[in-house]
Amino acid sequence: MTDRIGRTIDYLRLSVTDLCNYRCLYCMSAEGVEKRSHAEILSIEEFAEIARAAVDCGVHKIRLTGGEPLVRRGVTELCRRLREFPELRELTLTTNGSLLPRLAVPLREAGVDRLNVSLDTLDPGKFEKITRLGTLAEVMDGLRAAEEAGFRRTKLNTVLIGGFNTDEIADFVALTRDRPLGVRFIELMPIGVCTDWPEERFVSADEVLRAVPALEPAGSDGVAALYRVPGYAGTVGLIRPMSHRFCAGCSRIRVTSDGRLKPCLHSAAEFPLRGLHGEALREAILRGVAAKPERHHLSEERRSGTGRCMNEIGG
């Protein structure tokens, strides 16, 4: 399917919960989020029905997100249902990694193709500070469990935060020396609880190139510009929502855990899908795609236009 300016939209990010077992500083408050009743959140059957309709409209890739998707009961059953769609080319999942020691094998058996693991620091003390509830050891255990379960081409998502982890850039790049990991540095965005953080926290992904001058261009992967240190097994990706808009090539839509389609992460526009079925559901998805804005305005306005925090939308 295409939007009004001709972009092909074939990628759905499905947020299965807004809950998380961490409380990352840039994502939510220390108190977390108010737990909603089961009636307010889509059931596994509703998620599967919406995903089926999206695939009918032309979606070929689905990523499960949250919050933390692995705290959602029934997530592996949902994966199995999605994997039954013959038109679906790729099923992926973004996680903080802490629950992978228990769930890596079931996820692999359910048909998940690849994982993205969020990891913002390699320092145990800093990790506990930024997540408030987690430990670095449990995430490293999760990465090992994923590898043992057969997951390959795992990507690490690292949000660049000035004054917090920019001194670790070279350490993250070093992780790609012997393993085919994709380490992706993502510019911090002014959304939710970090909207009013000091300006110095928001740094350009170009800091990575300054920190590791040996990096050489290696193509692209979706919205990430890829680099590689010659001879290294893995790659380094730079995702620049602030300094370099990639809206012209955006191929994604999002569905929140309460059943609303968001054509753009940074737009307030939402289209209710819950309670719709068959052709009515497909038409609502197409209306949402048609309303996808040409671009966001983060650079000019220095704040996201959405009224939700990241854990409510899915990263």
213/194 Cα distance (integer angstroms) = 30
265/288 Cα distance (integer angstroms) = 13
Strands (E) across the chain are located at 11-15, 61-65, 90-95, 114-118, 155-160, 182-187, 216-221, 224-228, 235-239, 252-255, 260-262, 271-272
Whether the Cβ atoms of residue 233 and residue 218 lie closer than 8 Å to each other: no
Task: Give residue 239's pLDDT.
Answer: 94
Task: Give residue 29's pLDDT.
Answer: 79
Chain CA centroid to CA 253, Å: 12
Residue 99 has phi, psi (to 5 degrees) of: -100, 5
110/79 Cα distance (integer angstroms) = 6
Task: Give residue 144's pLDDT.
Answer: 97
* Percent composition of the chain: helix, strand, coil (DSSP 3-state, to 5): 35, 20, 50
3-state class (DSSP) for residue 124:
helix
Residue ranges per structural domain of the chain = 11-313
Whether the Cβ atoms of residue 285 and residue 9 lie closer than 8 Å to each other: no
- Please give the DSSP secondary-structure letter assigned to residue 152: -
Which H or E element spans position 100? helix 100-109
Positions of the chain with pLDDT under 50: none
Residue % of the chain over a pLDDT of 90:
78
Task: Give residue 131's pLDDT.
Answer: 96
pLDDT tens for 51-88 read 999 999 999 999 999 999 999 999 999 999 999 999 99
Whether the Cβ atoms of residue 75 and residue 19 lie closer than 8 Å to each other: no
List the strands of the sheet with 224-228, edge to edge.
216-221, 224-228, 235-239, 182-187, 155-160, 114-118, 90-95, 61-65, 11-15, 252-255, 260-262, 271-272
Q: Which CATH class is domain 11-313?
A: alpha beta
Which H or E element spans position 196? none
Task: Give residue 46's pLDDT.
Answer: 98
Task: Give residue 87's pLDDT.
Answer: 97
25 vs 30, 120, 126, 152, CA distance in Å? 8, 11, 11, 29
Task: Give residue 52's pLDDT.
Answer: 98
Task: Give residue 314's pLDDT.
Answer: 72
Task: Give residue 141's pLDDT.
Answer: 98
